[in-house]
Amino acid sequence: MISFSIDDLLARHSSSLGLKVLAGQASLGRMISNPQAQMSGLSLTGFMENYISNRLLILGASEISYLEELPSAVRKERLNMILRSDTPTVIIARSLPPPPELVELCTERGLPLLQTTLPAMVLLGRLSFVLTEEFAPSISFQGTFVEVFGVGILLYGDDGIGKSEAALGLVDRGHRLVADESIVIRLKHRTHLEGTGIGNTRHMLEIRGIGMVDVTLLYGAVCVRDTKSVDMMIKLENWDNNKIYDRLGMTEQSSHILGLDIPSYVLPVKPGRDVVLLIETLARNHRLKRMGIHSAKEFGTRLTDAIQKKQQQLVEHGPVEEYKEENLLFPPD
């Protein structure tokens, strides 16, 4: 369950939404349960069909003008109908003055009353985007997140396996760091995952024996980015001589995160292996696959065709006569 309050909305987005508090300051901890906003529309006329009360309520210029035309008693009655116990807040657009009955009801019910400088439709669009972002399902992930040739790669594995060192090597080759250690992964629009770092350590690397390294200061702002789509995952593990590793790449593995399958690879690490080069190769190969070019499958197809051709030759011509040892120098006529 996402925990997001009116106070969170003001703290994170008051500048972009042009919000300020008019009444109900004591109730800013009121939780937002529905990631959608709505205009009051026909509900102010008393028509409550399809009215959803737990959405953020926006009153624009038309709604305020309509309320001003009503007698005070009727105005209070209509507002009383739409202000329910589960209504998170009311926002008045264009910095319009609120009707006194609205201020009175919001104060009585502990309902925050906000005002914005934006027109109602602009506010509705921005607010819908903000709420969608805030309510996107997310998880925390321990690892290192880099962008290699435009591919977002999550590196993970045991502590001390060399994730941060691999990321540093990639940055040195011109690739970009997104985050190290603590990564937040969000499900965006139910179609893809997006990862970002947490706090002030977002663009820092922890290198054992050296300490914290600020990639932005060492390599420049072009070598970091704040967010990136998660395109593939690579697990770094110590080489195990008793384990059989994939040598052809015919079978594709995936990891399930927030309902989506992400291509996943295991990269064994041992002295002498250039891990940075191997990660670059996986990124290039991933780009080829997205273009419809699958090297392993094409190799398998060529191998199958060669076997079938050989079998066809055996059927048509029979097995080739083997030379005896004495015929190696003097082959038969």
Residues 142 and 272 in one domain: yes
Show contacts of 117-122: CB within 8 Å, 24+ apart. Answer: 117/18, 118/17, 118/18, 118/93, 118/94, 119/60, 119/61, 119/93, 119/94, 120/39, 120/58, 120/59, 120/60, 120/61, 120/62, 120/63, 120/93, 120/94, 121/60
Which residues, 6 or more positions from 247, have their beta carbon under 8 angstroms from its beta carbon?
none
Q: Is residue 325, in this structure, part of any structural domain at all?
A: no
Q: Is residue 176, in this structure, part of any structural domain at all?
A: yes
Residue among 189, 130, 123, 124 at smallest CA distance from 12: 130
Distance CA 160, CA 110 (A): 52
146-172: b (≥16 Cβ within 10 Å) or e: bbbeebbbbbbbeeebbbbbbbbbbbe
From the number of C-beta atoms within 10 Å of its C-beta (0-12, 13-18, 19+), residue 319 rates as exposed
Which residues, 6 or more positions from 272, have their beta carbon under 8 angstroms from its beta carbon?
none
pTM of whole model > 0.85? Answer: no
CA torsion through residues 96, 101, 107, 110, sign: negative
Residues 101 and 153 in one domain: no
Residues 85 and 218 in one domain: no
| Counted domains in the chain | 2
Q: What is the CATH number of the domain that holds 130?
A: 3.40.1390.20
Q: Which of 95, 116, 134 represents a domain boundary (last residue)?
A: 134
Residues 144 and 285 in one domain: yes
Q: Which two tokens stand for residue 304?
A: 């199958």
Per-residue pLDDT of the chain (333 residues; tens, 9 = 90+): 567 999 999 999 999 999 999 998 889 999 999 999 999 888 998 898 888 999 999 999 999 999 999 999 999 999 999 999 899 999 999 999 999 999 999 999 999 999 999 999 999 999 999 998 888 888 999 999 999 999 999 999 998 899 999 999 999 999 999 999 889 999 988 889 999 998 777 889 988 889 899 999 999 999 999 999 999 999 999 998 888 877 777 778 899 999 899 999 999 998 889 999 999 999 999 998 888 887 767 777 777 777 788 777 777 776 655 545 554 444 555
Can you give the length of the chain in residues? 333
Q: Which of 67, 102, 134 represents a domain boundary (last residue)?
A: 134
Q: Is residue 112, in this structure, part of any structural domain at all?
A: yes
Q: What is the CATH number of the domain that holds 259?
A: 3.40.50.300
Q: Which two tokens stand for residue 164?
A: 């941060």
pLDDT at 251: 75
Q: Which domain holds residue 241?
A: 138-290
Residues 149 and 266 in one domain: yes
Residues 99 and 70 in one domain: yes
Residues 128 and 142 in one domain: no
DSSP per-residue codes, 6-61: HHHHHHHHHHHHTEEEEE-GGGTTPBP--S-EEE-GGGGGT--TT--TTSEEEE-H
Residue among 212, 217, 152 at smallest CA distance from 181: 212
Residues 105 and 160 in one domain: no
Residues 142 and 127 in one domain: no
Q: Which two tokens stand for residue 127?
A: 């607010």
Q: Is residue 165, in this structure, part of any structural domain at all?
A: yes
Q: What is the pLDDT of residues 93-140, one digit of tens each?
A: 999 999 999 999 999 999 999 999 999 999 999 999 999 888 888 899
Q: Which of 110, 134, 158 represents a domain boundary (last residue)?
A: 134
Residue among 296, 263, 115, 156 at smallest CA distance from 166: 156
Distance CA 112, CA 262 (A): 42
Residues 120 and 18 in one domain: yes
Residue among 316, 42, 276 at smallest CA distance from 163: 276
Evaluate whether 28 touches 35 at the Cβ level (below 8 Å).
no
